[in-house]
Amino acid sequence: MRVLFAGTPAVALPSLEALRAAGHEIVAVLTRPDAPLGRKRVMTPSPVAARAAELGLPIIKADKIDAEVSTAIAAAAPEVAGIVAYGALIPPSALSIPEHGWINLHFSLLPAWRGAAPVQHAVINGDEVTGASTFLLEKGLDTGPVYGTMTEAIRPTDTSAELLERLSHSGATLLAQTIDGLGAGRLTGVVQQGEISLAPKLTLEDGHVQWRDPALAINRRIRGVTTEPGAWTMLGGQRFKLGPVRMRADITGLAPAKLHFEAKSVLVGTGSHAVELVDVQPAGKKLMKATDWARGLGNKEDVVFE
């Protein structure tokens, strides 16, 4: 089929490649405009825009779908639109442009975790299984009829970034198969059924570790916000960034937020048992091993996260 592909970050790239590999004609790529990147704030195309340019595909860059953009989409004459993490709303006026509508690849088993951060919320919540869904985009937030699903186990050590990487590839196959089925006229959307949960975009505050929480909840939260927006605590009045931790159920009795230094480990007390820090990033420093950071400390007595 003639496909308009809409996506912006690297997680959308496997879907673009899967649609090409399946033999669909990508008539245009819709992506967000170039954005400043790095310390020098160099204007940089999105990963999807960069790949589309390499492939010689027509590119439409827009952070909102206005009349001009809608006209450009219509001029490409797509039969269907595939959308993966584009990052902006598609207005009702544009939804009807492709004959088969806009097919969204969403990284959850709908209606669970509707919203911008389904993978992060699944990890934070302690879900054991998640997946991906393809559904027909409509005016409501991730409410449209579902065409297909696939499941993926959440591993005990998964960060949201690691889980999303796996889902981006398996989900790409699902999106290509869905568009294959629509083109062949053998797919019908099914109304979503089950318990609805919401997954709003995470803020920086969502990464603030509360050391009085149980260790399991802290572990899940840190993994859920890795790599975005990132886990952190406060030390000496400055933000102290944290990578995923190890559970240390063998260490109890350490006060919440209190650090304990051993020869080969750095432990922190929680509302239950201790956790072991692995990678840390003190303010103004690069990411380093927690043990290397500890060796650079002068006084290790009474070190407590704030």
For every residue of 7-21, DSSP letters joined together read E-SGGGHHHHHHHHH
**Tokens 């709003």 belong to residue:** 200
**Averaged confidence pLDDT in the chain:** 96
Residue 282 makes CB contacts below 8 A (sequence gap 6+) with 235, 238, 240, 241, 293
* 226/243 Cα distance (integer angstroms): 7
Domain 204-295: give its CATH architecture.
Roll (3.10)
The answer to whether 103 touches 133, Cβ cutoff 8 Å, is no
Average pLDDT score over residue span 17-24: 98
Domain 2-184: give its CATH architecture.
3-Layer(aba) Sandwich (3.40)
Asked whether the predicted pLDDT for residue 299 surpasses 90, the reply is no
* 258/264 Cα distance (integer angstroms): 17
Question: Mind listing the pLDDT tens digit for each residue in 232-278?
Answer: 999 999 999 999 999 999 999 999 999 999 989 999 999 999 999 99
Q: Is 245 exposed, middle or buried (0-12, 13-18, 19+ CB in 10 A)?
A: buried
Question: Mind listing the pLDDT tens digit for each residue in 116-159?
Answer: 999 999 999 999 999 999 999 999 999 999 999 999 999 999 99
* Domains in the chain: boundaries: 2-184, 204-295
State whether the Cα torsion 133-134-135-138 is positive or negative: positive
Average pLDDT score over residue span 201-225: 98
Cα radius of gyration rounded to whole Å, the chain: 22
- Three-state secondary structure call for residue 263: coil
Question: Mind listing the pLDDT tens digit for each residue in 46-98?
Answer: 999 999 999 999 999 999 999 999 999 999 999 999 999 999 999 999 999 99
Q: How far is CA 99 from the centre of its chain?
A: 29
